[in-house]
Chain A
């Protein structure tokens, strides 16, 4: 497929993505304003009089008609001006940037570990299909997938944090080494849950591919196993594995929120939850925009990876793709 066709495909997808992002942000905006209560109650506290509450609402323009409030938000967002948090008065962008120092390593390290471990162990299990090792690996995977992330997290903290004292039990640390120590157990908790699905998909797909003629032929020809795995097996299992990794990355966003709240980590997820409770509209809008854009980009990246991985997709005539 020509570079022009790929570019056209990407452009169409980005356009669709923009529509999705706009729709989600409008819906989120509507829901926040429909929820009972409001940021003025969080700002002013329990003893505030109705006058005080109304004064705060006026100062934030919260009683303006919703469409005009939303239009105002869009205009500012287009300039990357997301305003200040109503609760903490920090610029929203700064608050998110700070929290990313916790969430980004948490999600990305877990993701990398899940992909590497899941693919490796899944391939291993497929090769040894039916053996004790295979059953053991699948068993561990199912256990990991069945236990909720926060339950796994608590057990990990209890064993490694309290009993053994190897890792800290709460907080997110200061400085690189300390941060790594504090995130170790949360990363393990998330990885345990994600590895399961990656392992099972890889195992199933690789097992299928191993039955194919071309693999049998390559093995019969005496090609090294590593070459067979790399070129024949994984390449063909690739699409499903890449799709699964996209799904896992998105699931990590939700799982990450749970783990952050359980471990008391000051990440983007915890910020989001707190903002919803406080009805902190600028933060809610900004974080949900971030998540939406992330989801859309991950999906686009997965689709583009198909082109890279599978020549059959590349070879299809441009008109055949929707």
Chain B
């Protein structure tokens, strides 16, 4: 009995283990079976720099990716992936020039009329021809009533878009807008037929999209990963890179480990808090460019107690811009106004910019706790103020900046409670609904290269609440400033008279102190040794950036 029971027990356990192993394997196989959305068989994710000519594969970490491969759901950074496949009419290059792309020629006929002639003989990836109807459809999605497009604002001033000849369309604005040309560089063109066929599902992982670009979408995981392969039938110059993988890695540690492992060739947008660590990674080189964005404190000018200019000045005196820029933002340039000086130099000669910015710096309250106390004493809240400041977890610099300033502000009686909330809550309170206590902090980035971009958005009354998008967080309203911005809009984009008008607008608004600019952060990029990326700039997402990357010879 002992023998048979013993052998039964042994068999039972062996059988149990074997069944368990088989079960695991089966589950693994069954689960993986239908899961892989992409058909990619290329597992080469590293891509060694090819000798001079082509690059087999490029894996690049990008700061952001859209939820769908759909031009209504992409803006700024996420366009860096989308525009490679759905190319724009005009291409903005690293030399800051707009060149014809899908448009063969482009002409501004008068202050509000643009004529675009479409290139002949361009085909979508499925072989169908590109026509004006596709362009009209690709523009219409940003203009229909009730559109949810991220870049609807860029098309807001457009009154009509009409086909005026076989391969030509004419765009008429309701009022002059020198920034409009950049809308043409940000709008990806897709196939009207493909969009109609797939309706709501356009841009989703199973459907992707249909474009004419030098790279074809192969697979897509929302907000996470996109794989593009070279379009060998591209109408223009063939690309050097055969396969591109763009990825977003949200976790800081994981991102660092990915770079250390050598699986990644480049990273665009290294968080400032990790710069020192990233610079030490062997085999990688970090470089930077001026970013057209500004960290700033915002006051809601129509909300007590911040409607009191003395309180605002008191707070501004407790912000040590130099120390914050140096210590927290890794040596960024302290800010004196909303536009970085080098961006302004596109319109105004360097020496004039320097002189104007020196005036702006003098007008901005300097770090001085004694003067802060004096201002507070003159305000309507001489005993101090208690306030809550919201910060978003997605940008750790906001919290670091806020906490540092909170220490100085406490010394003069302004008690700031820093509260970290999720992005949706933060945006809702700070931008969309203006439901903060009246003081907020944000990093505001432009969505176009023109120096008037941030001033228009942050100071123009059209973007204040109610009625506007709320991106004018301060609800700053000034007839003078609106007038200056409008005058600058009526001139041609490169008219030198525009610069002084914009600077004047900045000067006039600074008296009321709607914002306290802190610093202009830099944009950092890391590149594996053996690669070069010529012309990296803050608008990398508008450039055809893979063409700027070369492997060593």
- Interface residues, chain A, CB within 8 Å of chain B? 35-38, 40-53, 55-56, 59, 84, 87-90, 94, 97-98, 100-102, 104-105, 108-109, 112, 116, 154, 157-158, 161-162, 165, 168-171, 174-176, 178-180, 222-224, 226-227, 230-231, 261-264, 266, 274, 276-279
Contact = CB atoms under 8 A, between A and B. Distances in A.
The 4 closest A-B pairs by CB, nearest first: A101-B35, A55-B146, A37-B428, A37-B424
A53 B425 CA distance: 15
Given A49-B468, A84-B200, A279-B424, A178 B43 contact: yes
Interface in B426-443: 427-429, 431-432, 435
B257 A88 contact: no
Given A41-B428, A46-B469, 12 more contacts: A46-B427, A48-B152, A48-B153, A50-B470, A53-B432, A89-B200, A161-B261, A168-B261, A169-B258, A174-B43, A222-B2, A262-B251
A223 B68 contact: no
A161 B261 CA distance: 7
A144 B223 CA distance: 33
Interface in B139-158: 145-153
B193 interface: no
A266 B219 CA distance: 14
Interface in B33-83: 33-38, 40-41, 43, 67-68, 73, 75
A148 to B, nearest CB: 13
Interface of B: 2, 5-6, 9-10, 12-13, 17, 20, 23-24, 27-29, 31-38, 40-41, 43, 67-68, 73, 75, 145-153, 200-206, 221-225, 247, 249-251, 253-254, 257-258, 260-263, 422-425, 427-429, 431-432, 435, 447, 457, 465-471
Q: Tell me the dominant secondary structure on chain A's binding face.
A: helix
B261 A165 contact: yes
A100 B201 CA distance: 21
Contacts, number: 214
Contact of B424 (A41, A158, A170, A178): A41
Contacts of B145: 55
A98 B424 contact: no
A90 B205 contact: yes
A90 B200 CA distance: 9
Given A41-B428, A55-B146, A158 B257 contact: yes
8 contacts: A87-B223, A88-B203, A105-B27, A154-B257, A169-B257, A176-B29, A231-B9, A263-B251
A88 B5 contact: no
A68 B159 CA distance: 40
A193 B471 CA distance: 46
Contacts of A88: 67-68, 203-205, 222
A10 to B, nearest CB: 23
Contacts of B40: 174
Contact of B37 (A42, A89, A98, A276): A98
A277 B20 contact: no
A47 B447 CA distance: 10
Contacts of A178: 43
Contact of B466 (A44, A50, A279): A50
B264 to A, nearest CB: 9
B9 A227 contact: yes
Nearest to B69: A88
Nearest to B421: A36
Nearest to A223: B2
B148 A52 contact: yes
A117 B466 CA distance: 62
B249 A227 contact: no
Contacts of A279: 424
A41 B28 CA distance: 38
A44 B148 contact: yes
Contact of A94 (B206, B263, B429): B206
B105 to A, nearest CB: 30
Given A36-B424, A43-B148, A230 B225 contact: no
A74 to B, nearest CB: 23
A162 to B, nearest CB: 5
A52 B497 CA distance: 35
Contacts of B67: 42, 87-88, 278
B146 A59 contact: yes
Given A41-B428, A102-B35, A109-B28, A47 B471 contact: yes
Contact of A108 (B24, B225, B251): B24
B20 A161 contact: no
Given A42-B424, A264-B251, A226 B10 contact: yes
Contacts of B36: 101, 174-175, 179
B288 to A, nearest CB: 24
A47 B453 CA distance: 12
A8 B323 CA distance: 72
Contact of A176 (B24, B28, B146, B150): B28
Given A52-B152, A170-B249, A176-B32, A36 B425 contact: yes
B6 to A, nearest CB: 4
A277 B32 contact: no
Nearest to A106: B31
A149 to B, nearest CB: 13
B261 A49 contact: no
Contact of A171 (B9, B28, B225): B225
B32 A105 contact: yes
A83 B58 CA distance: 36
Nearest to A175: B36
A100 B203 contact: no
Contact of A112 (B2, B20, B73): B20
Contacts of B263: 168-170
B425 A35 contact: yes
B253 to A, nearest CB: 5
A179 B257 contact: no
A105 B427 contact: no
B12 A230 contact: yes
A105 B425 contact: no
Given A87-B222, A100-B35, A223-B2, A49 B469 contact: yes
A46 B247 contact: no
B21 to A, nearest CB: 8
Nearest to B6: A224
Given A104-B27, A169-B261, A170-B263, A224 B203 contact: no
B194 to A, nearest CB: 15
A269 B249 CA distance: 16
Given A47-B152, A169-B263, A264 B424 contact: no
A188 B348 CA distance: 59
Contacts of B465: 50
B424 A277 contact: yes
B211 to A, nearest CB: 18
Contacts of A231: 5, 9
A97 B249 CA distance: 22
A44 B150 contact: yes
Given A157-B257, A178-B43, A45 B150 contact: yes
Contacts of A98: 35, 37, 205
Contacts of A59: 146
A50 B470 CA distance: 8
